[in-house]
Structure 1
């Protein structure tokens, strides 16, 4: 559990930290005639990471079925290291010109490949390792670890924005969170190398094939649509730091504080949801919160945009 959660949280931390520092990354790698274009280019490159995530999910998921969960999760750690290292050390546009944004795009593609490949094997591992009647709670650590990643990234962002000037944050401060992630990667590798393998406990894994996927295509499509709802909410929440700085014109420390709250709430309610669905079933826990979110999203954004202060955020 510790190895899976730590590695998963670290990979999500490396991936979403880009979103929290998108304003500064945009100014470093995507200079343009106006601030909005710079921001849009930066956010577009954040989206590039999602282009390769489905590919990573399919390829590394198949690899995990063939050789085991642990080798697949070690592979994703190696890939995220390459992508994060590139982001941390690549000079800005002012130093190396157009090569800078090209390298950043390639790094985001590698990060996306790693994260796409991480979610399947790590989720399978958590569920396969769960004792009877606890699969919901064990599986909920997948999203719970994402909450931990957001929480840590937000706390680090608050600390940096409170202790550094805007010039320092823009010049080199935004690189520090990526460097910290790199320092923690050896710990994640050490933990994962000692993991047991859960695949052998589940004979049905050997029946995985493209024919089976086609046979269950309708169920897979339905599951994708269900997951989409939560995924959209997650990345809207991750964008709120940038939204607060650029649109609401709030201080960076305040914007990062919102990220901390998002991470904490994600962690707490992911685990609560996992525990409740083991007691009450899966469907109700998927349907009712999603209906509630769809009803309150628009009025919540409207209120936040009108007030434009830290309390509303």
Structure 2
């Protein structure tokens, strides 16, 4: 009996590692784009003012997120039809092309307007693939999870993203110590992106060894793309509510990781090394809290964890950032972002399995991906640009806290709606049986 259990456990760990590897690459590149935004702005988007240059860079960063809903529907429906394994190899291929493009594009000084145009195309390709990558990975983990541990299993989707941030932050920290600021600005910022390209073949090998989930193999029908579109349209209320539920997790994540280094350097005037170190420690904190959030939701239920964390975010996001803005320092930035990391980690650990559970089974990847992509496009992806714009408009360095609080309000009411709706459907089913 023990001999059978051990290989099964090993195969589960191996499957988690293989499926989340592409998720790692996606977040690795996204974080690098956010952290090196000032250098990317200098290389591809020169403008009359630093603010305008940075805003153009963050706008292109956000444009990739606008492609996510399209990728979610098209690639998500494809994954629901052909299987998780084949679909996730396709998303990885598209993502790799977009990443490689950003590495090799010459500067604006070299090729003029073609330079920012190619960066935009690279970001759009990355966004298109990421639209279904995250949903495909989350659904795969949910479908291989052992009974009563779905929250714990799916938490590793986000956990892989934290590992990506840790490695990206360590690379950035090493570059800051090895190269002069001028060298990093001119060419050094490309090195971490090149590292991302170099690990793509390894991730391909891992993905090719994935096994299809038993739940997908036993499903009788796999809808064509037209059927998938119609099913999503019929369930538009669930998709929109799911989008609002995701709003808090995607906003919090991009605030405390992707935007945090720029916030530390440009707004709080901390050193690049300090900002990177804070981001590294926040990623470690996220990595710890995510599986705890998943396990708590397995034990207590998804709804109590989701409600508690949205209320905490509403009550403390702005005051915490206000405290930081009033006394900017390494230790204060670390303390505030670790608090927001605690909220994000527990919330996301419960939210991902909840989203896989509320979507219709036949379009689970497409539905999950569309809800998540819409939230990222509307909320998370534009968090760096929104935060930069709010600070410029109001003069209040803590104003990004308003954006996170707003996302928490959306998530709070969406959670109430979705669980009231599912309870009502269950009661109706019971009445019809009776």
- Please report how far the alpha carbon of residue 311 of structure 1 lies from its aligned counterpart in structure 2 after TM superposition: 1.5
Structure 1 alignment gaps of length 5 or more = none
Query: How do 1:229-268 and structure 2 match up within 5 A?
Result: 229-237=248-256, 238-268=258-288
TM-score between the two structures when normalised by the length of structure 2:
0.70
The one-character-per-residue Cα deviations of 1:50-81 (angstroms, maximum 9, x if unpaired) are: 11011111111100011111111111111111
The one-character-per-residue Cα deviations of 1:95-131 (angstroms, maximum 9, x if unpaired) are: 1111111110111000111111201111111111111
8 A Cα contact 1:164 1:173, kept in partner:
yes
- 1:71 matches 2:90: no
Report the equivalent of 1:276. Answer: 296
Report the equivalent of 1:210. Answer: 229
- Please report how far the alpha carbon of residue 202 of structure 1 lies from its aligned counterpart in structure 2 after TM superposition: 4.9
- 1:300 matches 2:300: no
- Please report how far the alpha carbon of residue 156 of structure 1 lies from its aligned counterpart in structure 2 after TM superposition: 1.4
- Please report how far the alpha carbon of residue 9 of structure 1 lies from its aligned counterpart in structure 2 after TM superposition: 1.0
Against the structure 1 CA distance between its residues 233 and 202, is the aligned structure 2 distance closer, same or farther, given a 3 Å change threshold? Answer: farther
Report the equivalent of 2:202. Answer: 187
Against the structure 1 CA distance between its residues 54 and 204, is the aligned structure 2 distance closer, same or farther, given a 3 Å change threshold? Answer: farther
Structure 2 alignment gaps of length 5 or more = 1-15, 334-434
Report the more deviating stretch, 211-220 or 30-39.
Answer: 211-220
Report the equivalent of 2:160. Answer: 145
The one-character-per-residue Cα deviations of 1:277-312 (angstroms, maximum 9, x if unpaired) are: 111111112111121122111011111112122122
- Please report how far the alpha carbon of residue 201 of structure 1 lies from its aligned counterpart in structure 2 after TM superposition: 4.2
Report the more deviating stretch, 285-294 or 77-86.
Answer: 285-294
- 1:227 matches 2:246: yes
- 1:45 matches 2:65: no
2: CA distance, partners of 1:74 / 1:29? 31
- Please report how far the alpha carbon of residue 211 of structure 1 lies from its aligned counterpart in structure 2 after TM superposition: 3.7
Give 1:125's match in structure 2, choosing from 128, 134, 140.
140
Report the equivalent of 1:290. Answer: 310
1: CA distance, partners of 2:295 / 2:49? 48
What secondary structure does 1:115 align onto? helix
Aligned length: 313
Larger radius of gyration: 2
Report the more deviating stretch, 207-216 or 16-25.
Answer: 207-216
What secondary structure does 1:167 align onto? helix
- Cα-Cα RMSD: 1.5
TM-score between the two structures when normalised by the length of structure 1:
0.96
2: CA distance, partners of 1:42 / 1:268? 32
- Please report how far the alpha carbon of residue 177 of structure 1 lies from its aligned counterpart in structure 2 after TM superposition: 0.8
The one-character-per-residue Cα deviations of 1:253-277 (angstroms, maximum 9, x if unpaired) are: 1111121122112211111111111
